[in-house]
């Protein structure tokens, strides 16, 4: 273990029940959180729980579990690998867990902890998972150890909005935010880390270097809080998969575009839900294979659209996909995208999101999807925005078509299930 920095010391001694620490990269967040969880390990019966979004996050080099093994391996405590738990000679325990889905919170039902810590809080999609864990924070009246909920994080991430609202805008009473940046961490090679942060896009750099919760792209066409995150897929109707192709492979000298396929449905209550996203960089042959495999998984009820580039090359590409790659599937080209400004084309989708009509099914792809929309169009890439906007436009076109036929007394497209 190491001597805590002044900001880490504050994190360890403040009496508040609920504390968020960090807000920028390099502030010693993970070490501070593990130290806070360890403060009462000498008390028999003390129990602490540390959480990340996924188990994979816990097991990464330099993450919480790795640091704990550096501290305690072969030094007295016993590691119970199946339970991801350290058992100490005094009779106390420190466990590691995850909350990848809404249902995962119930695996802690019936448990009792005196300390619960969330590492990288903005990576947790919903406030409800965080709040549920308060029901596990309890003790008997004779147990003289404070109950503490502690978290660390950076701005950005899928849970940025609710974390900002709870700790930055409404930090009060038993709730406290302790900001810390790399300047507050004397153990870090600050100059070298600063050089690494300088390679990031302006938005991410401001978030990670200075802990800026307010930084926003010019224009602000999309805001994180506009998108409603859901854990279960509602009843859906007309469904499309919209592809924005890019036949390229990344290397250390280039940052090419991505191939993105956005799957979107119209829900029974006339909202739009994005519930799957394919995103990859590959050779032309591998792109074709992945597009075909995705169509097979989606099934025949999902209409496939693809952005058609202008000119003969674009026509030839669409014809090739129609005849050879997606033969047997409902496949059509979108010829309008390249003839309209991306900003203008994105406005209807932005409006739908602002009005609360766009839902997103929680998944491992959502964080990057949200980040790209928030920095549109200041970011290096907009492929996910293009695919999302394209899918929305195709569904909206179908709705306009059906509305026109309904007025004329004609039969509309059947509502799929």
Domain borders along the chain are 6-210, 224-407
What percentage of residues in the chain have a pLDDT greater than 70?
81
The CATH code belonging to domain 6-210 is 3.40.50.300
pLDDT at position 219: 46
> What's the average model confidence in pLDDT over 184-212?
60
**DSSP letter (8 states) at residue 382:** -
pLDDT at position 227: 93
Q: Look at the domain 224-407 and name its fold.
A: Nucleotidyltransferase; domain 5 (3.30.420)
Closest-CA residue to 53 (of 96, 88, 16)? 96
Closest-CA residue to 35 (of 56, 64, 6)? 64
Least confident among 151-165, 192-206, 242-256: 192-206
pLDDT at 222 over 90: no
Contact 105, 132 (CB under 8 A): yes
Neighbour count for residue 380 (Cβ, 10 Å) = 9
pLDDT band for 235, please (50, 70, 90 cuts).
very high
pLDDT at position 409: 53
pLDDT band for 151, please (50, 70, 90 cuts).
very high
Average pLDDT, the chain: 84
> What's the average model confidence in pLDDT over 75-95?
95
Q: Which one of 4-8, 208-212, 305-309, 319-323 scores highest in mean pLDDT?
A: 319-323
Distance in angstroms (rounded) separating the CA atoms of residues 174 and 287: 52
Contact 154, 27 (CB under 8 A): no
Contact 284, 246 (CB under 8 A): no
pLDDT at position 252: 41
Distance in angstroms (rounded) separating the CA atoms of residues 369 and 306: 19
More confident residue, 337 or 114: 114
More confident residue, 229 or 22: 229
Q: Which one of 87-96, 163-172, 392-401 scores highest in mean pLDDT?
A: 87-96
pLDDT at 237 over 60: yes
Question: Under DSSP, is residue 373 helix (H, G, I), strand (E, B) or coil?
Answer: helix
pLDDT at position 157: 77
Report DSSP letters for 280-331, one per residue.
Answer: E-B-HHHHHHHHHHHHHHH-TTEEEEEEPPSHHHHHHHHHHIIIIISTTS-E
Q: Find the helix or strand (DSSP H, E) in which 47 lies.
A: strand 47-52
Least confident among 234-238, 243-247, 268-272: 243-247
pLDDT at 247 over 70: no
pLDDT band for 210, please (50, 70, 90 cuts).
low
pLDDT at position 179: 86
Q: Find the helix or strand (DSSP H, E) in which 149 lies.
A: strand 148-153
Q: Is 377 exposed, middle or buried (0-12, 13-18, 19+ CB in 10 A)?
A: middle
pLDDT band for 125, please (50, 70, 90 cuts).
confident
More confident residue, 85 or 156: 85
């Amino acid at each position: 273990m190491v001597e805590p920095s002044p900001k880490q010391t504050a994190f360890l001694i403040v009496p508040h029940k609920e504390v968020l620490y960090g807000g920028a990269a390099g502030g010693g967040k993970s070490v501070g959180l593990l130290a806070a969880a360890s403060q009462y390990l000498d008390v028999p019966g003390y129990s602490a729980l540390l959480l990340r979004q996924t188990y994979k996050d816990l097991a990464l080099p330099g993450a919480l579990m790795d640091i704990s093994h550096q501290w305690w391996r072969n030094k007295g405590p016993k590691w119970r690998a199946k339970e991801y738990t350290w058992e100490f000679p005094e009779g106390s325990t420190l466990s590691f867990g995850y909350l990848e889905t809404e249902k995962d919170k119930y695996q802690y039902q019936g448990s009792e902890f005196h300390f619960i810590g969330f590492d990288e809080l903005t990576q947790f999609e919903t406030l409800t998972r965080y709040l549920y864990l308060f029901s596990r924070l309890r003790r008997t009246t004779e147990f003289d150890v404070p109950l503490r909920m502690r978290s660390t994080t950076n701005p950005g991430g899928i849970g940025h909005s609710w974390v900002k609202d709870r700790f930055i805008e409404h930090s009060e009473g038993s709730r406290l935010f302790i900001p810390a940046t790399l300047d507050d961490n004397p153990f870090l090679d600050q100059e070298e880390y600063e050089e690494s942060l300088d390679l990031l896009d302006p938005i991410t750099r401001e978030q990670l270097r200075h802990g800026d919760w307010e930084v926003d792209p010019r224009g602000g066409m999309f805001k994180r809080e506009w998108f409603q995150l859901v854990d279960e897929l509602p009843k859906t109707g007309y469904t499309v998969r919209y592809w924005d192709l890019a036949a390229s492979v990344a290397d250390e000298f280039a940052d090419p575009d991505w191939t993105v396929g956005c799957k979107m449905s119209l829900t029974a209550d006339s909202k739009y839900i994005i519930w799957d996203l394919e995103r990859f960089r590959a050779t032309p042959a591998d792109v074709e294979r992945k597009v075909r495999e995705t169509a097979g998984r989606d099934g025949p009820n999902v209409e496939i659209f693809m952005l058609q580039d202008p000119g003969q090359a674009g026509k030839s590409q669409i014809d090739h996909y129609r005849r050879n790659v997606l033969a047997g599937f409902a496949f059509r080209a979108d010829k309008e995208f390249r003839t309209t400004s991306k900003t203008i084309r994105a406005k209807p989708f932005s409006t739908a999101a602002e009005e609360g009509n766009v839902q997103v099914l929680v998944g491992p792809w959502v964080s990057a999807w949200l980040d790209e929309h928030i920095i549109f169009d200041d970011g290096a890439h907009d492929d996910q925005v293009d695919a999302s906007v394209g899918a929305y436009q195709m569904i909206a076109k179908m709705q306009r078509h059906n509305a026109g036929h309904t007025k004329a007394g004609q039969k509309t497209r059947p509502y799929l299930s």
